[in-house]
Chains A and B, each alone.
Chain A
């Protein structure tokens, strides 16, 4: 029996986006797959990955004072670390570029670790994540995070086998009020109009507002701003759901309206259709809903995708198309002439590498270079292809570095034939 460990210490959405890697590992015969997550995500991880053994530690920062933190880390975490050391892991996939992940890797031999390793007190970054950092300035043509993490394995399962195709489930519309990063979420007044339009167009019987305790007030404001006929069908569930309820509700929906959030990835995981609103730092080609049957409205102003941590000097102009009344007409009619400038409507599709999005209205100016880049990456990962595009030399010079092939890279070169 081979044991594999995936260390995923990031957030809700990241846990769901680890699915291609986890499913690939689970597909291996006689393999036992483990994941280590923050305590707050343990029960969710157990719900969404029933075939995976879930371990948890204190990694996130919320709510602990110093004394509690010391107790949690030295006593609680130490116990989990002790348990993990009892497994002779064939490979440890350490996924997050964080000091915490580097230090956790000290439990293992660096040769065991893919991603972020620890060698005699030195932090070491593997080749595959290093390459991803090198293409960080080409985010418009980027690879979906689900596929990137899946790419740690050259035998990664087909993208079609990650999430079920999305189909309506009869439970009405779910509306996610906001993500963790506010600039890439739609303001209540914009979301309210979109919700009302889609509720009337879809003739829905039920609307559920979803979010955490901090979104309760936004939920109330949204509720009040809806037309009375829609209000009557709407329930503000913000702050009232645990992981189990949330999974149940999202699994029942016909569609989930959402910015780029963890709940969006949960919907994709469950096969619930997503209508995603992507603006600011959110770029669907990086973190869009994974699977077939999803829709994304992506702002495409020339400043995108930006960094949420950097102040916007353009007065968040990428929000303008979502606030434009033409967008509501487009939602109702799906006629391209009503699509506002600065936005493209996409539907989710797959290519050989994984998730892509095809425009149903509007333009995708990067489609050609993105295709070439994906072929370039695909060839690196699998050796398949071999047709050299006119951009390959540029990609090669940006993505490869001399030390990649001149020196012995640990953690291992990950992939490539």
Chain B
């Protein structure tokens, strides 16, 4: 498989942030050279503007200027790193001007819009400026994308990171802290608040944010409604007998909405080997078989199944095993990135652009030096046939003081550029 240079642009904050990190990890595991644009590092400075107590127009101007600087920073990184693809996660800080510049410079851009297109309609503003637009919903979204000038819409559902979302051996303390008969991990959307009132008499823990002002559920909310880290999520999933997975809805009239997209929790729970009861989604078809996920279509059915599976834990095992197998086979971020890259190659003419790569440099070295470089490749998790240029960048990505060999490699690269000795 061809190896690429990919710049992953994270959002300043939000749900697509951990997904961006899983994406980067998956790309690295596939041997691609990945550079991250760490937008969250800019977030506190951006938020501090809101404490200025200035006129609204001034604040607006300052915020736009700030985001412009962030956008320009992405462009500068592109100039230096020269990626084959800029992969932006939803809400990535790339403004129109920056996207136009990337297109002008022939840099292939892709967005993975891991949002509900009906709620987050800002996609209409910038989708045409990306070369590839991956989404977690099918029709009518893909047609609508084509209508506004984005012909390269790709259905790319969410996934799990098999190296992170996995069965854990928890300590007894962790089991006590994170475990319960039933739990829910997620934000307090309207449909969930109503649905979960039926469960207050169970051993039920609620984890996550935005559960304030709900006097019924208040006592079930863990850690005072603080944000739960991805590591803690995995422990909760592993420690819980029945993980509830009710897709969000901003309305409370229909508690089970039979919506289309599949949330990340579905894949993550399955990958963890944790039992879940998940509300039916239209896009389950093709993604999971009936014996791979235990589903419900109404709150009444949910309550029935909770009782059933609590009393028949052995029945959960088939779902756990089959669900996990299916996710590991088809629904990992590794698989998603392969799909995205294949799709990009099929849609973008002459992608990636050829670059001068020196792949046989190791053979020019004495045996001892070859051995040292191989060790370095191993330490940096680089493939054996890595090009010199990618090795240089991987060395540059390291933090702190470098070793003499690292420095010598950077020095050689710069020297070659300076004296144009490359053959």
Q: Of B59-67, B219-227, B360-368, which stretch is located at the interface? A: B360-368
CA distance A77 to B415 in the complex (A): 12
Determine how close the nearest CB of chain B comes to the CB of A170; give it in whole angstroms.
43
Considering only CB atoms, which chain A residue lies closest to B388 in the complex?
A70
Determine how close the nearest CB of chain A comes to the CB of B16; give it in whole angstroms.
25
Supposing A100-B414, A121-B396 touch, asked if A78 and B421 sit within 8 A by C-beta, the answer is no
CA distance A57 to B404 in the complex (A): 12
B310 contacts the other chain (Cβ, under 8 Å)? no
Q: Chain B, 357-399, contact with A by CB distance < 8 Å: what is the 0/1 string?
A: 0000100111001000100000000000000000000001111
B399 and A107 contacting across the interface, CB-CB below 8 Å: no
Q: Chain B, 71-83, contact with A by CB distance < 8 Å: what is the 0/1 string?
A: 0000000000000
A64 contacts the other chain (Cβ, under 8 Å)? yes
Q: Chain A, 62-99, contact with B by CB distance < 8 Å: what is the 0/1 string?
A: 00111101110111011101101100000000000011
Q: Which of B398, B400, B407 has the most CB of A within 10 A?
A: B407
Supposing A74-B405, A100-B411 touch, asked if A121 and B397 sit within 8 A by C-beta, the answer is yes
Contact of A99 among B369, B401, B404, B418 (CB under 8 A): B418
Determine how close the nearest CB of chain A comes to the CB of B399; give it in whole angstroms.
5
B404 and A100 contacting across the interface, CB-CB below 8 Å: no
CA distance A100 to B416 in the complex (A): 10
A311 contacts the other chain (Cβ, under 8 Å)? no
On chain B, the residues within 8 Å of A74 by CB distance are 365, 369, 373, 405, 408-409, 412
CA distance A69 to B408 in the complex (A): 11
Considering only CB atoms, which chain B residue lies closest to A77 in the complex?
B408
A69 and B412 contacting across the interface, CB-CB below 8 Å: yes
B404 and A107 contacting across the interface, CB-CB below 8 Å: yes
CA distance A88 to B362 in the complex (A): 32
CA distance A100 to B419 in the complex (A): 11
On chain B, the residues within 8 Å of A64 by CB distance are 421
Chain A interface residue count, Cβ-Cβ cutoff 8 angstroms: 34
Supposing A74-B369, A121-B396 touch, asked if A107 and B401 sit within 8 A by C-beta, the answer is yes
Considering only CB atoms, which chain B residue lies closest to A109 in the complex?
B401
B410 contacts the other chain (Cβ, under 8 Å)? yes
Supposing A66-B422, A121-B396 touch, asked if A81 and B412 sit within 8 A by C-beta, the answer is no
Considering only CB atoms, which chain B residue lies closest to A105 in the complex?
B407
Supposing A78-B404, A85-B404 touch, asked if A71 and B417 sit within 8 A by C-beta, the answer is no
Considering only CB atoms, which chain A residue lies closest to B414 in the complex?
A99
B407 and A103 contacting across the interface, CB-CB below 8 Å: yes
Considering only CB atoms, which chain B residue lies closest to A65 in the complex?
B421
Contact of A71 among B366, B399, B422 (CB under 8 A): B366
A73 and B366 contacting across the interface, CB-CB below 8 Å: no
Supposing A75-B366, A120-B400 touch, asked if A81 and B408 sit within 8 A by C-beta, the answer is yes
A108 contacts the other chain (Cβ, under 8 Å)? yes
A66 and B423 contacting across the interface, CB-CB below 8 Å: yes
B292 contacts the other chain (Cβ, under 8 Å)? no
On chain B, the residues within 8 Å of A385 by CB distance are none
A61 contacts the other chain (Cβ, under 8 Å)? yes
A82 and B404 contacting across the interface, CB-CB below 8 Å: yes
Q: Chain A, 98-116, contact with B by CB distance < 8 Å: what is the 0/1 string?
A: 1110111011110000000
B199 contacts the other chain (Cβ, under 8 Å)? no
B414 and A106 contacting across the interface, CB-CB below 8 Å: no
Determine how close the nearest CB of chain A comes to the CB of B405; give it in whole angstroms.
5
Determine how close the nearest CB of chain B comes to the CB of A246; give it in whole angstroms.
26
Q: Chain A, 185-224, contact with B by CB distance < 8 Å: what is the 0/1 string?
A: 0000000000000000000000000000000000000000
On chain A, the residues within 8 Å of B366 by CB distance are 71, 75
Q: Which of A59, A65, A106, A118 has the most CB of B within 10 A?
A: A106
A106 and B410 contacting across the interface, CB-CB below 8 Å: yes
On chain A, the residues within 8 Å of B260 by CB distance are none
B419 and A61 contacting across the interface, CB-CB below 8 Å: yes
On chain B, the residues within 8 Å of A120 by CB distance are 398-400
B30 contacts the other chain (Cβ, under 8 Å)? no
CA distance A108 to B406 in the complex (A): 12
On chain A, the residues within 8 Å of B401 by CB distance are 106-109
A78 and B414 contacting across the interface, CB-CB below 8 Å: no
Considering only CB atoms, which chain B residue lies closest to A62 in the complex?
B419
On chain A, the residues within 8 Å of B423 by CB distance are 66
CA distance A67 to B400 in the complex (A): 30
On chain A, the residues within 8 Å of B408 by CB distance are 73-74, 77-78, 81
Q: Chain B, 115-135, contact with A by CB distance < 8 Å: what is the 0/1 string?
A: 000000000000000000000
Supposing A65-B421, A67-B364, A69-B415 touch, asked if A106 and B369 sit within 8 A by C-beta, the answer is no
Considering only CB atoms, which chain B residue lies closest to A69 in the complex?
B421
B410 and A103 contacting across the interface, CB-CB below 8 Å: yes
Considering only CB atoms, which chain A residue lies closest to B408 in the complex?
A78
Contact of A61 among B404, B406, B409, B421 (CB under 8 A): B421
CA distance A168 to B412 in the complex (A): 45
B407 and A107 contacting across the interface, CB-CB below 8 Å: yes
CA distance A67 to B422 in the complex (A): 10
CA distance A84 to B401 in the complex (A): 13
B348 contacts the other chain (Cβ, under 8 Å)? no
Determine how close the nearest CB of chain A comes to the CB of B88; give it in whole angstroms.
21
On chain B, the residues within 8 Å of A70 by CB distance are 361, 364-365, 412
B148 contacts the other chain (Cβ, under 8 Å)? no
CA distance A98 to B407 in the complex (A): 15
In chain A, positions 231-255 with a C-beta closer than 8 Å to chain B are none
On chain B, the residues within 8 Å of A102 by CB distance are 414
On chain B, the residues within 8 Å of A65 by CB distance are 421
On chain A, the residues within 8 Å of B168 by CB distance are none
Q: Chain A, 342-367, contact with B by CB distance < 8 Å: what is the 0/1 string?
A: 00000000000000000000000000
Considering only CB atoms, which chain B residue lies closest to A79 in the complex?
B404
B402 contacts the other chain (Cβ, under 8 Å)? yes
A78 and B418 contacting across the interface, CB-CB below 8 Å: no
Considering only CB atoms, which chain B residue lies closest to A58 in the complex?
B415
Determine how close the nearest CB of chain B comes to the CB of A201; give it in whole angstroms.
45
A66 and B407 contacting across the interface, CB-CB below 8 Å: no
On chain B, the residues within 8 Å of A104 by CB distance are 407, 411
CA distance A70 to B365 in the complex (A): 8
A81 and B410 contacting across the interface, CB-CB below 8 Å: no
CA distance A273 to B416 in the complex (A): 40
CA distance A121 to B422 in the complex (A): 23
Determine how close the nearest CB of chain A comes to the CB of B231; give it in whole angstroms.
25
On chain A, the residues within 8 Å of B405 by CB distance are 74, 78
A73 and B404 contacting across the interface, CB-CB below 8 Å: no
Determine how close the nearest CB of chain A comes to the CB of B392; give it in whole angstroms.
10
Supposing A66-B421, A69-B416 touch, asked if A77 and B399 sit within 8 A by C-beta, the answer is no
In chain A, positions 132-152 with a C-beta closer than 8 Å to chain B are none
Q: Which of A57, A61, A75, A121 has the most CB of B within 10 A?
A: A121
B414 and A103 contacting across the interface, CB-CB below 8 Å: yes
On chain A, the residues within 8 Å of B369 by CB distance are 74-75
CA distance A59 to B407 in the complex (A): 13
27 A–B contacts, CB within 8 A, in A order: A58-B415, A59-B415, A66-B416, A66-B423, A69-B415, A69-B421, A70-B364, A70-B365, A73-B408, A73-B409, A73-B412, A74-B369, A74-B408, A77-B411, A77-B412, A84-B404, A85-B404, A99-B417, A102-B414, A103-B407, A103-B410, A118-B402, A120-B398, A120-B399, A121-B396, A121-B397, A121-B399
Measured CB to CB, the residues of B under 8 A from A are: 361, 364-366, 369, 373, 396-402, 404-419, 421-423
Minimum-distance CB pairs A-B, first 9: A81-B404, A61-B419, A73-B412, A78-B408, A99-B414, A103-B410, A82-B404, A106-B402, A121-B396
Beyond A66-B416, A69-B415, A99-B417, 9 extra complex contacts between A and B, CB < 8 Å: A71-B365, A74-B408, A77-B407, A78-B405, A78-B408, A106-B402, A109-B401, A120-B400, A121-B398
